[in-house]
Amino acid sequence: MDKKIGAPAPEWQVQQWFNVEQPPSLAALRGKVVVLEAFQMLCPGCVMHGLPQAQRVYQAFPRSQVAVIGLHTVFEHHAAMTPVSLEAFLYEYRLSFPVGVDLPDGRDGIPQTMRAYGMQGTPTLVLIDAFGNVRNQHLGQISDLLLGAQIMELILESGAPSQ
Amino acid sequence: MDKKIGAPAPEWQVQQWFNVEQPPSLAALRGKVVVLEAFQMLCPGCVMHGLPQAQRVYQAFPRSQVAVIGLHTVFEHHAAMTPVSLEAFLYEYRLSFPVGVDLPDGRDGIPQTMRAYGMQGTPTLVLIDAFGNVRNQHLGQISDLLLGAQIMELILESGAPSQ
Amino acid sequence: MDKKIGAPAPEWQVQQWFNVEQPPSLAALRGKVVVLEAFQMLCPGCVMHGLPQAQRVYQAFPRSQVAVIGLHTVFEHHAAMTPVSLEAFLYEYRLSFPVGVDLPDGRDGIPQTMRAYGMQGTPTLVLIDAFGNVRNQHLGQISDLLLGAQIMELILESGAPSQ
Amino acid sequence: MDKKIGAPAPEWQVQQWFNVEQPPSLAALRGKVVVLEAFQMLCPGCVMHGLPQAQRVYQAFPRSQVAVIGLHTVFEHHAAMTPVSLEAFLYEYRLSFPVGVDLPDGRDGIPQTMRAYGMQGTPTLVLIDAFGNVRNQHLGQISDLLLGAQIMELILESGAPSQ
């Protein structure tokens, strides 16, 4: 568990967006539950589990209540996972939710949003409530059953009717 | 969808219980969300999907808020799926939630609880809210993501804190 | 590993056959490679792995070269796995290769063919060459890759063209 | 099916090798069965099926009899799948067999070995016998059962004892 649970989610620092017309900001998503999936395109656990799960969430919940955002948090093999590679990856894996490239630190280290959230690796799933607070931050696998329950809890808290 | 959604769940008619000390009744479970998994032990969709999912629900949610009940609704191959076979099945598949044998109609037809709920086959998953009303009745597969969300919605409705 | 590898396979003792017109005998299958899948219908490893694999073998290789035979070797929960239950199981799981019921020992112990082969549990896969000798006897899971290779080795040994 | 079945396999044209000390040549592998797995690192069918299967073959058969060779045949998204990205991919997915980068055609089209073999896409699995002839060339998925059988057939043809 992370010490930031309950605290306001840091605004993300993004170099480039895919699958969007307008760059989404955390501030503009206030009122919606946000599922933030931090990943690296060459991380097998992200490809096999985290990203398919994020895509399922994107398809299962109404866009008016839940926003799914991918964040490409490259902290290793920087030259291997450039935005041009990421773009082909998103296309080939048919990932259709918005994905931002986390802003590099300029020294091939941990990128800036990843650092601000205190993430320890990938995949990391962050649940942000409709008021902009981090409510869960999970490294590794989380079950669909518990994730669905947590998302619904945050939806109902927000005062939105459940569907 | 079933015409009974929203109506009071019929009390189950059970011939014999497994995995319980006291026979559970729907009335006695008032205040909890009830996940009723209707199955046949020789139905591949039950064995591969419905029953493992029910076991996951049983392990994921607090017993004080969610009750998982299996119901063996034998409507075909009656001689093949007697209680003695069911008992060995439950043991071999390590299913540990309470399971009742739906009361036969006496003519090798649709058993009585299955008929009262208007179920069309197996597996059928029924969600009953804390006030005893049927809120969902689903034949076939339902995703863990949506099931988790629906269970949480009913938990929160009941006034219980989510955990 | 089993001490009987290389020795003549004992003729099977079968009480009742399913999915056949004529009871198959080991002697009559001389000239073909025989894949014998010993299972119990309530053994999860048989249902999840052994039997689907046997069905794949049945579909992948020509019937003129490879015979797949199921053997229901009930050594526990005898009352739960009677032939009437087995028949419904085979129908519901769409298993179409010949299946014999191993002859009980009359004392609810290990049935006679299972004992003659020295099997330790289920699933057990036995490979018998075209000359009637046991060439492999494996308790638990075996990979499709190695099984395919072993079957082909025995096919080619028999002098049959590979397809 | 491909018109080249039975014909001598074209020598591969490789720009760069990974997971080798000495660049392997087809000529030097005469006497062994060669399993050539042509893939692209961002092709989901390669990542989910073809490459894990190649790794299983690499682990299941003796190195003295079967050589597994990966060939990175980039015919689309060229800038996204450079050797530096491939190297990180091989490391992250723990692929340990030799992998060569197919020689580009210089115009971001179909690379040279892929063209010489007449491959239509990825994954393509090519089976080459111990005498250097193409014996199977398969686009898409092939079952482990049939692949194991085909490899064993070629091993035995070569005159090698099966293990």
Among C145, C147, C150, the residue with its CB nearest the CB of D56 is: C145
ipTM score for this prediction: 0.93
Inter-chain residue contact C44 with B79, CB threshold 8 Å: no
Average pLDDT of span D19-38: 96
CA-nearest residue of chain D to A87? D80
Tokens of A11: 């605004």
pLDDT tens digits, C60-113:
999 999 999 999 999 999 999 999 999 999 999 999 999 999 999 999 999 999
CATH, residue B86: 3.40.30.10
Q: Residues of D with CB below 8 A from A85's CB?
A: 42, 79-81, 85
Residue C161 within any structural domain of the chain: no
d(CA B89, CA B85): 6
Q: Residues of B with CB below 8 A from A146's CB?
A: 60, 148
Residue D163 pLDDT exceeds 90:
no
Residue showing tokens 């060569």: D100
3-state secondary structure of C97: coil
Average pLDDT of span B39-45: 98
Inter-chain residue contact D79 with A81, CB threshold 8 Å: no
At residue C160 the predicted structure's pLDDT band, cuts being 50, 70 and 90, is low
Give the global pTM. 0.94
Residue A4 within any structural domain of the chain: no
Q: Where are the alpha helices (DSSP H) in C61-103?
A: 83-92
Chains B vs C: touching, with 3+ CB pairs under 8 Å? yes
Can you spell out the DSSP letters for B90-147? HHHTT--S-EEEEPP-SSSSS-HHHHHHT--SSSEEEEE-TTSBEEEEEES---HHHH
pLDDT of residue A133: 97
Residue D2 within any structural domain of the chain: no
Inter-chain residue contact C77 with B88, CB threshold 8 Å: yes
> D163 or A130: which carries more pLDDT confidence?
A130
Residue C161 pLDDT exceeds 90:
no
User: For residues C93 and C51, is the Cβ–Cβ distance under 8 A?
Assistant: yes
d(CA D6, CA C157): 23
Tokens of D151: 């490899």
At residue B1 the predicted structure's pLDDT band, cuts being 50, 70 and 90, is very low
pLDDT tens digits, B95-144:
999 999 999 999 999 999 999 999 999 999 999 999 999 999 999 999 99
Q: Residues of C with CB below 8 A from B80's CB?
A: 84-85, 87-89
pLDDT of residue A84: 98
Inter-chain residue contact C150 with D152, CB threshold 8 Å: yes
From B40's Cα to the closest Cα of chain A, the distance in A is 23
CA-nearest residue of chain C to D62? C146
Test mutation, C76, C89, C93, C122, chain B, max B CBs within 10 A: C89
Chains B vs D: touching, with 3+ CB pairs under 8 Å? no
pLDDT of residue A150: 98
pLDDT of residue D161: 59
User: For residues C143 and D56, is the Cβ–Cβ distance under 8 A?
Assistant: yes
pLDDT of residue A55: 98
Residue D1 pLDDT exceeds 70:
no
Provide the domain count of chain B.
Answer: 1
Test mutation, C74, C86, C91, C92, chain B, max B CBs within 10 A: C92
Among A80, A91, A92, the residue with its CB nearest the CB of D85 is: A80
Chains B vs A: touching, with 3+ CB pairs under 8 Å? yes
Residue B2 within any structural domain of the chain: no
Residue B99 within any structural domain of the chain: yes
Q: Residues of D with CB below 8 A from C152's CB?
A: 148-150, 152-153, 156
SS3 content of chain B, % helix, strand, coil (to 5): 35, 20, 45
Partners for A (CB, 8 Å, 3+ pairs)?
B, D
Q: What is the Cα gyration radius of chain D?
A: 15
Partners for B (CB, 8 Å, 3+ pairs)?
A, C
Inter-chain residue contact B42 with C81, CB threshold 8 Å: no
Q: Residues of D with CB below 8 A from C144's CB?
A: 143-145, 148
Residue C9 within any structural domain of the chain: yes
3-state secondary structure of B3: coil
Residue B7 within any structural domain of the chain: no
Instruction: Using an 8 Å CB-CB cutoff, list residues of chain D that contact chain C.
Output: 56-57, 60-61, 143-153, 156, 162
Residue D24 within any structural domain of the chain: yes
Name the residue type at position C8.
P
d(CA B162, CA B153): 9
Q: What percent of chain B has pLDDT over 90?
A: 92
Buried b / exposed e across B25-52, counting CB within 10 Å, b at 16+? ebeebeebbbbbbbbbbbbebbbeebbe
Q: Residues of C with CB below 8 A from B43's CB?
A: 92
pLDDT of residue A161: 59
Inter-chain residue contact C153 with D143, CB threshold 8 Å: no
Domain residue limits at A106: 14-18+28-157
Inter-chain residue contact B42 with C85, CB threshold 8 Å: yes
Among A44, A81, A92, the residue with its CB nearest the CB of D44 is: A92
| CB pairs C-D closer than 8 Å | 59
d(CA D67, CA D33): 6
Name the residue type at position C154.
L
At residue D162 the predicted structure's pLDDT band, cuts being 50, 70 and 90, is low
d(CA C149, CA A78): 42
Q: What is the pLDDT along chain A (163 residues), one digit of tens a residue?
A: 455 789 999 999 999 999 999 999 999 999 999 999 999 999 999 999 999 999 999 999 999 999 999 999 999 999 999 999 999 999 999 999 999 999 999 999 999 999 999 999 999 999 999 999 999 999 999 999 999 999 999 999 998 655 5
Q: Residues of C with CB below 8 A from B81's CB?
A: 85, 88
pLDDT of residue C4: 74
